[in-house]
Amino acid sequence: MVYQLFANGDYAAAKSTAPVTGRVAAVYSEIQNSRLHHVLPLPSVLRKPFMIVDGPASPAAGSPDEIAKLFPCLFGQPSAALVPADLGEFPSGQSLKVGVVLSGGQAPGGHNVISGIFDYLQEHCKGSTLYGFKGGPAGIMKCKYVVLTPEYIYPYRNQGGFDMICSGRDKIETPAQFKQAEETALKLDLDGLVVIGGDDSNTNACLLAENFRSKNMKTQVIGCPKTIDGDLKCKEVPASFGFDTACKIYAEMIGNVMVDARSTGKYYHFVRLMGRAASHITLECALQTHPNVTLVGEEVALKKQTLKSVTDYVVDVICKRAELGFNYGVILLPEGLIDFIPEVQQLIAELNEILANEVVDEAGLWKMKLKRQSLQLFEFLPPTIQEQLMLERDPHGNVQVAKIETEKMLIQMVETELEQRKERGAYKGQFKGQSHFFGYEGRCGLPSNFDAAYCYALGYASGALLQSGKTGLISSVGNLAAPVEEWTVGGTALTSLMDVERRHGKFKPVIKKAMVELEGAPFKKFASSREEWAINNRYISPGPIQFVGPIADKVNHTLLLEFGVEA
C-alpha cells in the first residue's frame, strides 16, 4: 500500500532526487528526522475497504431560506459517513486530477493533510495527479501551482509549517475571481480541489463548490478544518487542526516564564496569546499551566466589562498577592480581548466605517466623525494602540488583532491604577510588568502526535470523499478522544454549518465562529479553580511536546473536556 510505503519510511527513491529549492531533509535535526519516519496511524475505517453512507437531508445552522437561495445546487445535500464495506476489496478508482490549497494562517499539521490526500490518491486512484496551488487562493486565481510528487512531498512529512506550497489570505469573491478559478479548473482539468482553511476559507470553498456545480463543471470541492484558533468546530467537526500543537508550545513557554517569575520574585509577566476573536487558546493554556489571572474575552463581553473594570480585576489580584508577599505573577490574555470590550467594539465599528469611506487626514479631522464616547476612548488610549487600531483590515474585513499590543496597554493601565492605590495606602507592593506575545512561535512547530495523525486522516478522508464524487463537504474525523483506530470518518455538508450575516445590504453566508462557551466544560473547569490559582501559586510547567513515551499521545484538555472524558 502506498501510504505504508511513505508513512513507514521506505524513502530510498524519494531521497535520491529530492529538489534542492525546497527543504533538504539531509540537514534536518535528529528530531526532525525521526518525525520524518514517524509511522502515521490511520483510523481503522480508512485502512480497510469502506463504503460511503449518506445521512438525511441537511439543514443550515441558521437562516435556511437565505442559505437555500445562496446555494441552490448544494443546500440540503446530506453529510456522508465512511463505514466498513462487507465485500472484500477496495474499489480501484480511476485516476483523478486534484488541486490542494492552504489558506490563511499556518497551523501545525498542514503538510500532513497534503500527504494524506497524496497517499490516498496513490493508493486508491493510481495515476492521479496532485497539484499544489502556491501561496494560497491567489495560486488558484493565477494558476500558479507545483505538481506534487513523492520526492517533493518527502521532506515535509510530519514537519511543521506550510512552506511545501505556502499559504495566503486572498479571497475568491468577485465574479472575475470566480471566473479565474473556473479557468484554472478547466485548464488543469481538475476533478477535485481541497481547500485547507478556517471558517472564512471553508465558506469560500462552499461558494466555489456551488459555482462549479452551477456551471456543470466536474470539479468537486472538499474543505478541511484548519486553524490554531480552535474556533472552527461543531459536533461533526470536533476540532480544527493545529490547536493541539500550538497550545502545547505556548504552554511550555508560559510554564517557563512562571518559573522565571517565581525565581526572581519581581516580575508580572503579561502574556497575550494568539487566537483572533476567540479565547480557546488562552483557556487551554490556562488549563495546562494554572496562571494567576486569565482573561477570557467571551466572559468580558458577557459581563459587559469596560477597560477600567478589566484593569481593576487584574489590580485586585495583584494587591491581594502583594499582601501575601508575592510581587510576581503570570497573567494570560487573548489577543482578541480588546475586541470583546463593548466600548472598544463600538469604537472599532466606527473606525471600520471611517476607514472604508473617508480619507484619514493627518490633521485628525476624521476623528470628528466618531461619537463622543468613542472619541473619548480613542484619545484615552496610548498612541501606539491608536495607531494599531487604524491599521489596514485583513481581506475578510477583520481588525488585525495580532498587531494590537493589548498586553502593553494593560501593563500601563495596571501601573497607573496601582500608583493611585499606593497614594491611597491601599497597595504597598512593587510592580514590574513584562510583556510577551506568543503567537507566531506556535504556528509552525512540529505537529504533536495528535495533530500529525488527525491531519493525515483529514487528508486521506478528503481523497476518499473526492473519489466518491462528493462536493461541498468538509472532511470530518470524529470520536477524537478515543485511540486513532476508533476515529470516525466522513464529510459534513458545508451548508449545514452556515448562517447569513447582512453586510453592505446583502446576505453573506458565514460559518459561525465557535467561541468559548461559558457553560461548556473547559470554561467551567477553569472557573472552578481560578481563585485558587490567583492566590496560591499552582504553576505547572508542561515542558516540551513529547513525541514518544507515556504522554506522547496525550490530547489537549479542551478536547477531552468537550468529549466528557476528563472530569
Active-site residue list: 229
CB burial of 424-450 (b: ≥16 within 10 Å; e: otherwise) equals eeebebebebbbbbbbeebbbbbbbbb
Give the C-alpha separation, 373 to 150, whole Å.
Answer: 60
Q: Is 501 helix (H, G, I), strand (E, B) or coil?
A: strand
In the complex, minimum distance from the CB of residue 250 to ligand FBP, in angstroms, rounded to a whole number: 11
| Residue 321 backbone dihedrals phi, psi, to 5 degrees | -65, -35
Residue recorded with cell 472530569: 567
Tell me whether residue 180 or residue 398 sits nearer to ligand FBP (CB atom).
Answer: 398
Upper half-sphere CA count for residue 193 (Cβ side, 13 Å): 39
Q: Tell me which residue of 490, 109, 533 sits closest to 288, measured CA to CA.
A: 533
Tell me whether residue 402 or residue 489 sits nearer to ligand FBP (CB atom).
Answer: 402
By CB under 6 A, name the binding residues for ligand FBP.
Answer: 104-105, 107, 198, 227-229, 274-276, 335, 401-402, 443
In the complex, minimum distance from the CB of residue 286 to ligand FBP, in angstroms, rounded to a whole number: 17
Tell me whether residue 104 or residue 491 sits nearer to ligand FBP (CB atom).
Answer: 104
Confirm if 282 and 332 have CB atoms less than 8 A apart: yes
Give the C-alpha separation, 78 to 192, whole Å.
Answer: 19
Give the C-alpha separation, 432 to 404, whole Å.
Answer: 21
With a CB cutoff of 8 Å and minimum separation 6, the contacts of 128 are 95, 96, 97, 98, 121, 122
Tell me whether residue 74 or residue 237 sits nearer to ligand FBP (CB atom).
Answer: 237
Give the C-alpha separation, 37 to 107, whole Å.
Answer: 21
In the complex, minimum distance from the CB of residue 226 to ligand FBP, in angstroms, rounded to a whole number: 6
Give the C-alpha separation, 220 to 191, whole Å.
Answer: 6
In the complex, minimum distance from the CB of residue 388 to ligand FBP, in angstroms, rounded to a whole number: 13
Tell me whether residue 228 or residue 317 sits nearer to ligand FBP (CB atom).
Answer: 228
For the CA atoms of 315, 320, 325, 327, the dihedral, rounded to the nearest 10 degrees, stands at: -10
In the complex, minimum distance from the CB of residue 310 to ligand FBP, in angstroms, rounded to a whole number: 20
In the complex, minimum distance from the CB of residue 21 to ligand FBP, in angstroms, rounded to a whole number: 23
Tell me whether residue 170 or residue 343 sits nearer to ligand FBP (CB atom).
Answer: 170
Confirm if 212 and 258 have CB atoms less than 8 A apart: no
Which grid cell is 513?
Answer: 465562529
In the complex, minimum distance from the CB of residue 273 to ligand FBP, in angstroms, rounded to a whole number: 9
In the complex, minimum distance from the CB of residue 529 to ligand FBP, in angstroms, rounded to a whole number: 25
In the complex, minimum distance from the CB of residue 526 to ligand FBP, in angstroms, rounded to a whole number: 20
Measured from the Cβ of residue 52, the count of other Cβ atoms closer than 10 Å reads: 18
Confirm if 446 and 32 have CB atoms less than 8 A apart: yes
Tell me whether residue 273 or residue 534 sits nearer to ligand FBP (CB atom).
Answer: 273
DSSP secondary structure letter of residue 28:
-
Tell me whether residue 198 or residue 542 sits nearer to ligand FBP (CB atom).
Answer: 198
As separate numbers, helices (DSSP H) first and strands (DSSP E) second, the chain gives 22, 16
Q: Which long-range contacts does 298-301 make (Cβ < 8 Å, 24+ apart)?
A: 298/340, 298/515, 298/516, 298/517, 298/518, 298/523, 299/516, 299/518, 299/523, 300/337, 300/340, 300/341, 301/340, 301/341, 301/342
Tell me whether residue 105 or residue 429 sits nearer to ligand FBP (CB atom).
Answer: 105
Give the C-alpha separation, 462 to 328, whole Å.
Answer: 49
